[in-house]
Amino acid sequence: MMPVPGSHLTPDDIDAHLAGGLAPAPREHLMQCPACQERADTEREIVALLGALPLMSPAPGFADRVMARVAIPEPLATRPLASIRRRIFATRRSTAIAAGLLALLVGSMAGSVVWTLGNQETLAAVGSWLAAQANQAAWIGVRGVASTFIEQPWFATLKTLAADPGRLGFASALAMLAYVAGVLALRRLLALPAQQVAHAHA
């Protein structure tokens, strides 16, 4: 009798065999080993029997019994609207207050439209004056920042540096390098964990 090549099938090999993906070496062993063949056949039979177990259903009306004990939330979009509607029509007083507020809102809107149409020139003049004021304030701000900058003790050094293109280039390269290193460090620090964590609460 010829010796059977390789060792007997491991449980993982049996799994692979059941899934139809057994590696060549154990497959060769399986073809020549009666013990492994019998085991593989039996396990295949058991898996087939398990797969053919009958499907079972709970008693009729199962869904109704479950639904009787589950409160369905109101649709998200209608929740606030429904709540407001309920509050408005809760009493006569709340309805009257809501109607008064609505009338005030509509009235003030209509009033502002009418006034705007009748005073377009005044509105244009006010608009121009506001723009001029904003422009003036912006210039004052820019001049203030510039004079503060010039008065700094390191400004003279910076000016000398800027006068020499070689030094300026070197300083720029250093700054760029520091910036790139900072970005890379931040990316590493802010990287999300790759693995997700199971969350089922039961």
Partner 1 sequence: MAETPEWVGLSDQEVVLMARAGREVAYRELIRRYERPIFALLFRMVRDRELAEDLSQDTFIKALKAIESYRPEFKFSSWIFKIANNAAIDHLRRRELDTLSLDGSPHAETPEAMQATALQIGARQESPLDTVEAKELGGAIESAIGRLRPEYRSCILLRHVEGRPYEEIAELLDLPLGTVKTYIHRARNELRHALAHLREE
| Whether 32 contacts 2, CB under 8 Å | yes
For partner 1, give the closer residue by CB, 23 or 145.
Answer: 23
The dihedral over CA atoms of 135, 140, 141, 144, expressed in degrees to the nearest 10, equals 160
Give the CA distances from residue 95 to residues 4, 82, 89, 116, 143, in Å, rounded to whole numbers and listed in that order.
92, 15, 5, 32, 58
For partner 1, give the closer residue by CB, 65 or 167.
Answer: 65
For residue 30, the minimal CB distance to partner 1 (Å) is 17
Q: 55: helix, coil or strand? A: coil
For residue 8, the minimal CB distance to partner 1 (Å) is 14
d(CA 4, CA 31): 9
What is the binding site for partner 1 (CB under 8 A)? Answer: 11-12, 14-15, 39, 42-43, 45-47, 49-59, 62-63, 65-67, 69-78, 196, 198-202
For partner 1, give the closer residue by CB, 57 or 120.
Answer: 57
Query: Which of these, 2, 1, 23, 4, lies nearest to 12 by C-alpha position?
Result: 23
For residue 59, the minimal CB distance to partner 1 (Å) is 6
Please tell me the number of Cα atoms within 13 Å of 105 on its side-chain side: 6
For residue 135, the minimal CB distance to partner 1 (Å) is 52
For partner 1, give the closer residue by CB, 11 or 166.
Answer: 11
Q: Which residues contact 25 (CB under 8 A, 6 or more apart)?
A: 5, 6
For partner 1, give the closer residue by CB, 67 or 137.
Answer: 67
For residue 188, the minimal CB distance to partner 1 (Å) is 24
Enclosing H/E stretch for 153? none
